[in-house]
Amino acid sequence: MAEVPEATWWAQGLRVAGVDEAGRGAWAGPVVAAAVILPGTGRYPFRDSKTLSPAQREELRLEVQAVALAWGVGFASAAEVDTVGVLRATHLAAARALEQLAPRPQALLTDYLKLSTELPLLAPAKADRDSPSVAAASILAKVARDRYMLELSLTYPQYGFAAHKGYGTPAHLQALHRFGPCDQHRRSFAPVAQVPLLNPA
């Protein structure tokens, strides 16, 4: 088995928080980030949430929460994405997830997300593939965001959020042109910006 990115820090006895996000590219809904500190021992079955079915993600979510020393999930709303930009909103969501961790992390590992921090930070590409900590965070973030979008679909059934989770699909685009965007859409994202508000003030 190849050495994982956090192995050196684990060997030093450091608590490493893996951080990952879900929803950066969506047209609607929040950006969600999760942070997970795993014990620096053993092998973990966690892998990038994009490679897992919903049932597999739910099963592994329970395992992450059972074995983690600490975990947290943070949200940044669609309005915050529009106000500060999607990258800054992702940083806000990550900071909110990290604030929930107790014990506190001593080093951070992300999937190419270069957070502003005084802690040692590694941000390699494909960390959600190579790091069990980041993969665990990707699972929690994806499950939390999908659940949020399912709840949102009850309020706004016309957009099909339950199916596409706010991402750009032909059905979502058709709904935007038919109904206009709602308050959960990211007005700064094209093609959302090209259609009128559903309920203009």
CA distance 121 to 117: 8
Q: Residue holding tokens 């016309």?
A: 158
> What is the b/e burial string over 77-96, where b = at least 16 CB atoms within 10 angstroms of the residue's CB?
bbebbbeeebeebbbbbbbb
Q: Which two three-digit tokens encode residue 31?
A: 């950006």
CA distance 53 to 39: 25
At residue 25, the 3 state secondary structure works out as coil
Does 146 carry a binding-site annotation?
no
Among 141, 136, 132, which residue's Cα sits nearest to residue 40? 132
Neighbours of 125 (CB within 10 A): 9
Q: Residue holding tokens 């929460």?
A: 65
CA distance 19 to 91: 10
Does 21 carry a binding-site annotation?
yes
Cβ contact 19:109 at 8 Å: yes
Does 111 carry a binding-site annotation?
yes
Binding residues for a divalent metal cation: 20-21, 111
Binding residues: 20-21, 111
